[in-house]
Every structure is written in structure tokens, then in C-alpha cells.
């Protein structure tokens, strides 16, 4: 659900949704005073698939949405950081994990909620974790023990399925999909 922009971020005047005069084809929030066009763009969710030997690290969420469900360490990318920097920051914040960042593994478009999820492979350098306040617990799982029915997000489930399939095939690829 889109929350409309009601006031200009620059001058505070009210906005009105209309198609800009510059040839754009979509309705945008346009300031009634300074005429600034406000663009609403998807949010990036960035995270990692942290691995310790044959196990993957999952975090049990201590926040909504889906409090109490398991997820890969991930969260919203911040301004002034790259996707890899954001994924690393989220992994430290949520799991307190020590790791070496690997390559980008999956890019998942979730258009219905205006998000793009990006997951990087990561190699844990320790099996000691210090979860932050957003995580109830951080735990390593073998593939057979993944709590598939208690995963928080479909993007995490799809990323893990592809990760385990690639690992079984002996070759990791890059996966792009739409959910």
C-alpha cells in the first residue's frame, strides 16, 4: 500500500499528484509552491547467506513483521552505502557475525511491495554470534534442519532453495527472479 506524499520535502507546501510537464508518464507528487517533483522508488533489502562449513546462519526475528520467524540476516539499505556494505552492516547488526563477504548470489524483485532483495554469499570466520536487539537468536542450520515452515519471507526461502541446489551441483550461479 502506497502512502501518498502530502507535503514537499523541500519547502513543506502541499503536493498534488499529476503527470509532470517534462514528458514523464506516471503520476508524481508535485509541490504546489516550488513545483519540485517527488519520485517514489523501490526500497533495497540487502543481506547475506552466511555459511559455516555445511551450515547456514539464520536469525530469529525479534521485530515485526514476522516476529518469531527465521530469516537470513538482512534489512533495508541505507543512504551512502553500497549494497555489499549494507548487507555486511545488517549481518553484523542482526547476528553479530564475523565473516568474509562473497559475491552477489540473488536479486529478487518484489514489485507488489516496492522492494528489491539482494543476497550475498558470505563465509563465516567464527561460529560465535552476538545478536543485536532485532534478533532473538542466531543459529546455524544444516540443510535438513532448516525450519522451512517458519521462514519469515518468501525471498529468503527462494534464496535458500537456490543456494542449496547450487551447492549440491558444485557450482554457484547468480539468480534473478520476480516474486
Q: What does the pLDDT read at residue 98?
A: 98
Q: Count of CB atoms within 10 A of residue 76's CB?
A: 11
Rg (CA), the chain: 19
Q: Count of CB atoms within 10 A of residue 136's CB?
A: 15
Q: What does the pLDDT read at residue 34?
A: 95
Interval 85-110 mean pLDDT: 98
Interval 107-128 mean pLDDT: 97
The answer to whether the beta carbons of residues 58 and 128 sit under 8 Å apart is no
Number of structural domains, the chain?
2
Q: What does the pLDDT read at residue 22?
A: 83
Domain at 125, CATH number: 3.90.79.10
Q: Does residue 48 share a domain with residue 34? A: no
Domain that holds residue 33: 1-40
* Distance in angstroms (rounded) separating the CA atoms of residues 16 and 136: 43
What's the whole-model pTM score?
A: 0.89
Q: Does residue 100 share a domain with residue 52? A: yes
Give the whole-number percent of the chain exceeding pLDDT 90. Answer: 94
45-97 confidence digits (pLDDT tens): 999 999 999 999 999 999 999 999 999 999 999 999 999 999 999 999 999 99
The answer to whether the beta carbons of residues 19 and 26 sit under 8 Å apart is yes
Q: Does residue 59 share a domain with residue 25? A: no
At residue 122, φ and ψ (nearest 5 deg) are -145, 140
Q: Does residue 146 share a domain with residue 113? A: yes
What does the DSSP assignment read for the chain? Answer: -PPPP-B-TTT--BEEEE--TTS--S-EEEETTT-PEEP--PEEEEEEEEEETTEEEEEEE-SSSSTT-EE-SEEEPPTTS-HHHHHHHHHHHHH---EEEEEEEEEEEEGGGTEEEEEEEEEES-S-----TTEEEEEEE-GGG--GGGBS-HHHHHHHHHHHHHHHHT----EEEE-
Give the whole-number percent of the chain exceeding pLDDT 70. Answer: 99
Interval 170-178 mean pLDDT: 98
Q: What does the pLDDT read at residue 1?
A: 57
Domain at 5, CATH number: 2.20.70.10
Q: What does the pLDDT read at residue 60?
A: 98
Q: Does residue 47 share a domain with residue 24? A: no
Residue 10 confidence (pLDDT) above 60 = yes
State the pLDDT confidence band at 23, using cuts at 50, 70 and 90. confident
Q: What does the pLDDT read at residue 74?
A: 98
Amino acid at each position: 500500500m502506497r502512502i501518498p506524499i502530502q507535503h514537499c520535502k523541500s519547502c513543506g507546501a502541499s503536493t498534488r499528484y499529476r503527470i509532470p510537464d517534462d514528458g514523464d508518464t506516471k503520476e508524481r507528487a508535485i509541490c504546489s509552491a516550488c513545483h519540485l517533483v517527488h519520485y517514489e522508488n523501490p526500497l533495497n533489502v540487502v543481506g547475506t547467506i552466511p555459511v559455516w562449513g555445511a551450515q547456514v546462519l539464520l536469525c530469529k526475528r525479534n521485530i515485526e513483521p514476522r516476529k518469531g520467524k527465521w530469516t537470513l540476516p538482512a534489512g533495508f539499505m541505507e543512504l551512502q552505502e553500497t549494497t555489499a556494505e549494507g548487507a555486511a552492516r545488517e549481518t553484523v547488526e542482526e547476528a553479530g557475525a564475523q565473516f568474509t563477504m562473497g559475491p552477489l548470489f540473488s536479486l529478487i524483485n518484489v514489485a507488489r511491495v516496492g522492494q528489491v532483495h539482494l543476497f550475498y554469499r558470505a563465509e563465516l570466520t567464527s561460529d560465535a554470534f552476538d545478536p543485536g536487539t532485532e534478533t532473538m537468536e542466531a543459529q546455524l542450520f544444516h540443510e535438513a534442519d532448516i525450519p522451512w515452515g517458519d521462514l519469515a519471507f518468501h525471498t529468503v526461502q527462494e534464496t535458500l532453495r537456490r543456494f542449496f541446489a547450487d551447492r549440491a551441483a558444485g557450482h554457484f550461479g547468480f539468480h534473478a527472479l520476480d516474486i
